[in-house]
A and B are shown apart, each in its own frame.
Chain A
Amino acid sequence: MKSPNRHGVFLCQGGHGGQESLDFKRLRWTAEAQGVPVFEVTQACAQEGAAAVARLAAEGGLDAFILGACPLAGPGGPLAGELWRAGLKPEMVQHLDLCQKPLGQTGQCLVMDGGALALDQALVVQAARFQPESREMEVSRRVLVLGSGLLALKAAQGFLLGGYKVLLITPGRRLAPPEPLLGLEAKLEATALARELEASERLEVVPRGELLRLAGSAGDFTVTVLDRQRRRWTRRVGAVLVTQGPATRLNSGETGLEPGPRVVSLAELLLWLSSPEHFRKKLPAQGQPRVGLAVGLGQEASPLSLRVACLAARGLVGELGAEVTLFTGQAKMASPDLEELTQEVRGLGVVFVKFDNHRPQASPRPDGVGLRYFEEILGRELSQDLDLVAVDEVPGPDQAWRGLARVLGLNVARDGSLQPDQVNALPTASARAGVFLLGPASGAWDLPAALDQVGQALAGARALLGQGKARVEEGRVRVDRRRCAICLTCVRVCPRQAMDRRDRRPAANPLACTACGTCASECPMEAIQIAGQDDQRFAREIGAAVSKSPSGLLAAPEREMLVFACANSAGPALAAARLAGRPWPSGVRLVRVPCAGKVDPAYVLWAFQQGLDGVLVLGCYEDACHSLTGGTWAAYRAGHLSRLLTEAGCDPRRLISSGVAPNMHAQVMDMVEQARQRVEDLGANPLKTQARVRDFLSRFTVRIDETYAIAG
């Protein structure tokens, strides 16, 4: 690991030559005060200007530099290409937006006010820059697949073909067990696959095995398994695929359809239908059998349930000449050819009764079930006597499933899946890097969708494990062993469960870690630092954001506000808003963070202590966070901080925490403007004067300290 030592600052004068303004001179002085070489260019947003920047950077032998210019010269501008051409890396540039009014507007390019402070902040960031060294990490090329059905076998086949080893733990005794809901074709395919795979030497099957423990993290898990002979052993695996789902119960909701001889599940009905001779004996001997099928009357159903109900209805009419009524809540049609299947079934005389706001009520009859309901389209009460009712199923309470989730380190959601309610986890990711969820484990019950997921999980696992070696960044997350009290807070808060315990100390697995910084913010001992994003840097950056004008002590300065912007959501939104020509509001300073989870409450308190009048934290929405929990942390900390601020005599309304999406460029500046307005209304931060006096006094303190140092 090394820090770049040759920095530089490029300042764009804009498209006009001639007299340079005082603001521009201030920028140059700010950089020069830090002892950094300053280059002046014109039109860095144009090919020629960008080429000049690249040439000067190459000639100066710079490792990194700041380009202070308008947003047009920023990412997406011509500079990246020019740097490539000059044999330099585009990552070396830190774009700094310094322009008052960007884009297309003709006329002079003016420096935004507060530009010198922004440059000061950028210099702090520059000094803390960190270029990680990459190293090779050995990962296991064995994959654990949990399950035994078609999905598990498809996944196992994919890995075996890719040259991986597969450890298959099956809940039942054999592979390809009956999966009545998936149909005969799926069963045949699964059986053929099982026969094909069993011949492979790289497949190890543990029938009725139990997963006792999953230690470690992505690429380097250790699984402890209890097999049928009650032997306990361990294996190293690189990734885990969960293809099974929780046990189910009837989706009766409030209808009173209790399981019994006359009320069964759709799966059971399908089994009965596979031998119509036996089935007929279960029904009354005389007359046309009357069968009700119920789908989605409790919880919302999946299209799979409707498909199965339609197939059952077709069988009932065709094999038994039954009179079939299909009772459904919202009929979920969104599956290939399901619309046509329902039309075909209706053509056979199956009656669909749809419920929107009402539900039928069941009452037991001798040898049957009575259903009373309000027919919403006709607008009246109806009742029906049925010989048999088959109901769809939804995940039920399942202790074994909960136990498995606990071993995997995941939570069971209300829909029975193990996936967090996060768009960024879709389609197959879990809250633990390296653990992939397929089919019911991810909430996808429909077969076409689940089969697509197999390919996605294969791609994800293969990208993780490669050919047994992965390139990772070294030294991104540092744990100070002297400070660490081994409280394991970091292990608990890591949204990707990337914190391992090595040598009985926490250590981040670089393969799983996204350097969101949640652990660093939550560590009660401040033992964890993210390289390039450490507390010292943020303290200095926040300090640099406050204006230090000597007149500030006496004159009433303008309100100053700090915006912590998440690099995944607020960052792109603000950049796009600037590209669209929105001016940067005066008195607002920006601090970029990798994730709202990195906004340590201490940073917010520092900001107020430094005399800033307001703080706005812009992170992802809670259910759309790129590191899964950043938005949740931001909301939680906002509550905690407002209590602390009240105690400190600072109005908690000065802290605003808000979610934003990366495509909200039209709204994000309004959010900033509203926050600024509120801060304006609240007046000056009462701690401001103190901060200024402290700052004033500190100038003398430093001198005294230096004297002692020399004398000592």
Chain B
Amino acid sequence: MPGGLCLEVCPAAAEGALRAPLIPGDRPRLAISPASCLYFKDQRSTLCQDICPEEAIDFDQAPRQVEIKADALVLATGFQPYPAATKERLGHGRVADVVTALELEQGLRDHGGPARPSDGRPPASVAFIQCVGSRERLGHNYCSRVCCGYALRLGRHLRARHGVAVSIFYMDLQSFGHALDDFMAAARQELNLIRSMPYDVYQGHDGQVVLEYQAVSGQPPVKGRFDLVVLSVGMAPNPDNPELAQACGAGLDHHGFLSSRPGVFVAGAATRPLDMAEVVAQASGAAQEALRYLEERP
């Protein structure tokens, strides 16, 4: 039974060891997540392998080398969301109710509403901190382009659908698109936009998260209290890009993103931070380049 037998027997299915997508037609139908799979932990459970009538699961499978001859190569390896825990100051992993925007969005998708990780209650106030892993002089010295847009949209969604009071801490709002001035006017009206970057995040006594920030220069810092703090993580290059670039002959820029070379074409957000529409455009362009390369080859 697809999505059945292995899911039913998996003792760690609730922790996400085995996942099935909810959109019909999404592939793969089922996937094992090594992070929570018991076999990857201590080889305790092979129940899914034993029960699968199709013998589709094989834990003993060894890596093997396969040789494929190809005239051109397309790298579409994407990006990684900036690992928020590396910014200890912002409390991810240290303060329970500090989550990344990705985690918030996953929660919204799976449970239909926002919830505080500490007690599962819906938050009444949420703060977004922008530029987590973007626009840093030492480190990721570029704007990730998408974070302001998603934070503003998530913020408006939280307010409209769940009645949450939303504050957004930012440097410069990087929002783009059609009807932008209307969108920004609505966002300014609905959200509390604060041009300041909190420099400390810690657990308050009352269960809330405290953000310290400077509102006006020369005046004492302000302490903001929120039920939930969301880190708007940026788009970081994959950590293995240097090895990949070397192995495939792709270009590597000083941020760690990839670029195309004759015969090796890089598509999508592996090249630079891009939003959804731009990724579509960029990747179609890369496909066209690859096509032309193949056509022009003798």
Contacts and interface: CB of A to CB of B under 8 A. Distances in A.
Range class of the A interface residue count: 35 or more
A76 B25 contact: yes
Interface string A34-75: 000000000101110000000000000000000000011011
B25 A413 contact: no
A319 interface: no
Contacts of A414: 179, 181-182
B110 to A, nearest CB: 6
Contacts of A103: 3
Given A377-B216, A666-B109, A334 B179 contact: no
A332 B3 contact: no
Given A414-B179, A455-B285, A665-B22, A331 B172 contact: yes
Interface in B1-47: 1-4, 7-8, 20, 22-26, 29
A333 B172 contact: yes
Contacts of A47: 2, 53-54
Contacts of B180: 299-300, 415
Contacts of A337: 142
A212 B148 CA distance: 42
Q: Name the residue in A75, A78, A330, A448 with the highest tally of chain B Cβ atoms < 10 Å from its Cβ.
A: A330
Contacts of B289: 455
Contacts of B24: 71, 74-76, 572, 575-576, 579
A162 B294 CA distance: 12
Contacts of A454: 285
A200 interface: no
Interface in A657-676: 662-663, 665-667, 670
Given A76-B29, A379-B216, A452 B278 contact: yes
Interface in B101-152: 108-112, 135, 137, 141-145
Given A104-B3, A158-B288, A426-B280, A379 B218 contact: yes
A415 B277 contact: no
A8 interface: no
A126 interface: no
A1 interface: no
A83 to B, nearest CB: 15
Interface in A438-464: 443, 448-449, 451-456, 458-460
Contacts of A76: 2, 24-26, 29
A427 interface: yes
Interface SS majority for chain A = loop
A378 B217 contact: yes
B76 interface: no
Given A455-B286, A580-B22, A72 B143 contact: no
Given A75-B25, A428-B281, A456-B284, A343 B137 contact: yes
Given A161-B292, A354-B172, A336 B216 contact: no
A455 B288 contact: yes
Contacts of B2: 45-47, 72, 76-78
A379 B219 CA distance: 10
Given A443-B178, A576-B23, A459 B1 contact: no
A222 B55 CA distance: 58
A367 interface: no
A449 B288 contact: no
B241 interface: no
B257 to A, nearest CB: 9
Contacts of A74: 24
Given A300-B180, A452-B278, A104 B284 contact: no
A103 B108 CA distance: 22
A666 B277 contact: no
B178 A334 contact: no
Interface in A386-437: 413-415, 417, 419-421, 423, 426-428
B118 to A, nearest CB: 22
B292 A43 contact: no
B253 to A, nearest CB: 9
Interface in A195-231: none
Contact of B142 (A75, A339, A453): A339
Nearest to B135: A339
Contacts of B173: 330
B277 A427 contact: yes
Contacts of A427: 277-278, 280-281
Given A300-B181, A455-B285, A336 B272 contact: yes
B86 interface: no
B174 interface: yes
Given A43-B1, A78-B2, A330-B174, A456 B280 contact: yes
A421 B178 contact: yes
Contacts of A300: 175, 180-181, 184
Contacts of A428: 281
A650 interface: no
A415 B176 CA distance: 11
B282 interface: yes
B16 to A, nearest CB: 14
A666 B106 CA distance: 11
A336 B142 contact: yes
A71 B26 CA distance: 14
A531 interface: no
Contacts of B191: none
B159 interface: no
Given A104-B7, A333-B172, A336-B272, 9 more contacts: A45-B4, A78-B2, A161-B292, A377-B216, A417-B178, A420-B178, A455-B282, A458-B284, A579-B22
Interface of B: 1-4, 7-8, 20, 22-26, 29, 53-54, 108-112, 135, 137, 141-145, 172-182, 184, 193, 195, 216-219, 272-273, 276-278, 280-282, 284-289, 292, 295-296
Interface of A: 15, 43, 45-47, 71-72, 74-78, 103-104, 106, 158, 161-162, 299-300, 302, 330-340, 343, 354, 356, 376-379, 413-415, 417, 419-421, 423, 426-428, 443, 448-449, 451-456, 458-460, 572, 575-577, 579-580, 662-663, 665-667, 670
Q: Which 7 A-B pairs have the closest CB atoms?
A: A455-B285, A426-B277, A334-B145, A666-B112, A333-B143, A456-B284, A76-B24
21 contacts: A76-B2, A76-B26, A161-B295, A330-B175, A332-B172, A333-B174, A334-B273, A338-B142, A356-B193, A377-B216, A414-B179, A421-B179, A449-B278, A451-B285, A452-B281, A455-B285, A455-B289, A456-B284, A572-B24, A666-B110, A666-B112
